[in-house]
């Protein structure tokens, strides 16, 4: 497993922290566990921290993952993805758009504080 789940009760946020080598099955498993935690806690904020990924998923895996988001993600959930500052934003902007086109509020950030502030602004 290349991730762990953290519950931040103070901000009503579920965090998925990925590290090492990550592929499509890791992303799907992390999403499943995060959605279960969000549902159990009654939260609407999901923060995905990818800054410690050493070997990221392929572009195709990112697209497959984003295209299935509406099937698994409740509509009231907002997703902030924190990416390393060195990562080219083009891929993440495409995934953002693909997710948004399918009804999932998703934004990518290279600063975790900005990501958390965005989640606090747009969700209750």
pLDDT digits (tens, 9 = 90+) for 71-123: 888 888 999 999 887 665 566 666 677 667 767 788 889 899 999 999 999 88
Query: According to CATH, what is the number of the domain 3-122?
Result: 3.30.750.24
CA 117 to CA 119: how far, in whole Å? 5
User: What pLDDT was estimated at residue 69?
Assistant: 84
Give the pLDDT confidence score for residue 105 in this predicted structure.
86
Q: Quick: pLDDT tens for 6-16.
A: 999 999 999 99
Angle between helices 89-101 and 59-72 (to 10 degrees): 30
Tokens 């904020």, located at residue = 45
Of 46-50, 59-63, 68-72, 100-104, the poorest mean pLDDT is in 100-104
The Cα angle at residue 2 between residues 14 and 91, in degrees rounded to 5: 80
Strands 3-8 and 13-21: antiparallel
pTM of the model: 0.89
Closest CA to 118 of 2, 11, 10, 9: 11
> What does DSSP assign to residue 82?
E
Q: What is the CA radius of gyration of the chain?
A: 13
């Amino acid at each position: 497993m290349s991730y762990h789940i953290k519950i931040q009760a103070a901000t009503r946020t579920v965090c998925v922290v990925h590290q090492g080598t990550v592929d499509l099955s890791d992303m799907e498993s992390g999403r499943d566990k995060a959605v279960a935690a969000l549902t159990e806690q009654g939260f609407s904020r999901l923060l995905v921290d990818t800054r410690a990924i050493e070997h990221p998923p392929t572009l195709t895996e990112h697209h497959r993952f984003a295209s299935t988001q509406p099937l698994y993600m409740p509509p009231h959930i907002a997703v902030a993805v924190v990416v390393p500052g060195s990562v080219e934003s083009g891929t993440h902007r495409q995934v953002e758009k693909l997710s948004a086109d399918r009804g999932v509020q998703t934004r990518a950030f290279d600063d975790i504080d900005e990501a958390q502030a965005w989640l606090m602004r747009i969700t209750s």
